[in-house]
Homo-oligomer: A and B are copies of this chain.
């Protein structure tokens, strides 16, 4: 049986390498349209499976320009520039001729180099020591097994926190192994930090999401279907927008991705 994530990533050629079609999947429904993470994953997968792709994802920026409605979509993929070791993409997701999402991506070839991880993995209890969060809504949340070590969803309206930090373990609820598409989705699993700071589930949504992929294929394989640790916090909230940054770690301490987003909110 195909996993619902792979079903959501299913794309078909629409006559030329630069044009593919897909459709939103009910298993990944958000409050309005699909979970932004699955859109990011679809964009990553579309580039990965383009016949001219060079190497692996290095950087992805997704701009959520307008709500995606349930149903089919079209992706226009433009490999604007291919260099010896890296490649630059512009992608647009359209529905009925209207651009709903734009993205740029850098793909490239890795090579051995000086290496070090300077960011520090937060110290938290193992996921087995933490209860699984009961997350049934929005629907996409139920696709993950989430274990919060800090900064869970506010449990009571008005329960404001002085910190916007969340620390949480996450894995696919049905044991699907991590790959670049799933890592693209995981980058958007951090609910808007404004919820924590105000204790209010006020309307908010990602407007721009950037992810830097640090994980090699071997490191992804080593994670497999195991939990990864996410750590997210915000910088500044002002005039209807805020930014939040996050890191995603393997249990063994490999920094798999760092990711940043600008979020709009009403309140």
Residues of A within 8 A of B (CB): 58-59, 61, 63, 65-66, 80-81, 83, 85-86, 88, 90, 92, 98-100, 102-104, 106, 108, 110-119, 163-164, 194, 197-198, 207-208, 210, 212, 214, 216, 233-241, 243, 245, 247, 255, 258, 260, 262, 264-267
Contact = CB atoms under 8 A, between A and B. Distances in A.
Contact of A81 (B66, B198, B266): B66
Contacts of A111: 239-240
Q: Would you list the 4 A-B pairs with minimal beta carbon distance, nearest first?
A: A110-B239, A65-B81, A65-B88, A119-B235
A219 to B, nearest CB: 9
13 contacts: A59-B262, A61-B104, A61-B208, A65-B81, A81-B98, A113-B240, A113-B267, A114-B197, A115-B238, A116-B237, A117-B236, A118-B164, A208-B212
Contact of A102 (B88, B264, B266): B88
A216 B258 CA distance: 27
A85 B216 CA distance: 39
B118 A233 contact: yes
A232 to B, nearest CB: 12
A109 to B, nearest CB: 8
Contacts of A81: 65-66, 98-100, 102
B207 A86 contact: yes
A118 B117 CA distance: 25
Contact of A114 (B99, B119, B237): B237
Nearest to A202: B114
A81 B208 CA distance: 14
A74 B8 CA distance: 39
Contact of A214 (B83, B112, B238, B245): B238
Nearest to A207: B106
B214 A236 contact: yes
